[in-house]
Structure formats: structure tokens, C-alpha cells
Amino acid sequence: RATQNQHFADLMATLGATIIPRARLGGPQGASSEQAAYLQRVHAEHDSIFDAIARQDPDGARAAMRTHLANSRERRRRSGDAIPR
């Protein structure tokens, strides 16, 4: 909804939150050091997106989201799965 892109909202409604790798993880408590580092990186990326939206900075939000998606794609490419096991 924050994207104001109905196609994206419809896609997410169809696929559900489980399509988001982070949604399949619990919190940092009990996580391995690798998982904790992963969570910290992803959380920082999400913070950047949120902060830009809160500032009502569409260019900043767009840039932060593109960075997050590029990083996510690279994490997926390197590991074969976006979530460290």
C-alpha cells in the first residue's frame, strides 16, 4: 500500500507474505551468528526504506528499495536461498 502501486499490492495479496524470505525466520533470539548477521543486514535495509517513506521522500524510498532488491538478489544468488540455515 505504501508504494501506491496497486499491481504490487495485488501481487503481494496473491502470493502472500511467505514469499518474503524474512517472513520465514523468527527473531534474533536463538539465531546462529550467521542468521543474526543476515537479520541485521536485512533490518538495516528495511530501516532505510521505512525512513525514506516516513520523510515522504519518494526518490530516497525508491533508491533504498532498489538497493534492498539488488542485495536480496545477490544474497539469493550467492547462497541458493535467501535465508542462512
- Provide the residue range defining the domain that includes 46: 26-79
Structure confidence at residue 25 (pLDDT): 60
Assess if residue 50 is contained within a domain.
yes
Assess if residue 58 is contained within a domain.
yes
Q: What is the pTM of this model?
A: 0.66
The rounded mean pLDDT for the chain is: 81
- Please, are residues 78 and 84 in contact by the beta-carbon 8 Å criterion? no
* Number of folded domains that form the chain: 1
Assess if residue 74 is contained within a domain.
yes
Assess if residue 9 is contained within a domain.
no
C-alpha 83/C-alpha 56 separation (Å) is 31
Assess if residue 7 is contained within a domain.
no
Residue-wise pLDDT for 57-74, tens only, equals 999 999 999 999 999 889
Assess if residue 4 is contained within a domain.
no
Measured at the CA of 41, the angle between CA 37 and CA 42, to 5 degrees, comes to 115
Name the percent of the chain lying above pLDDT 70. 75
Assess if residue 62 is contained within a domain.
yes
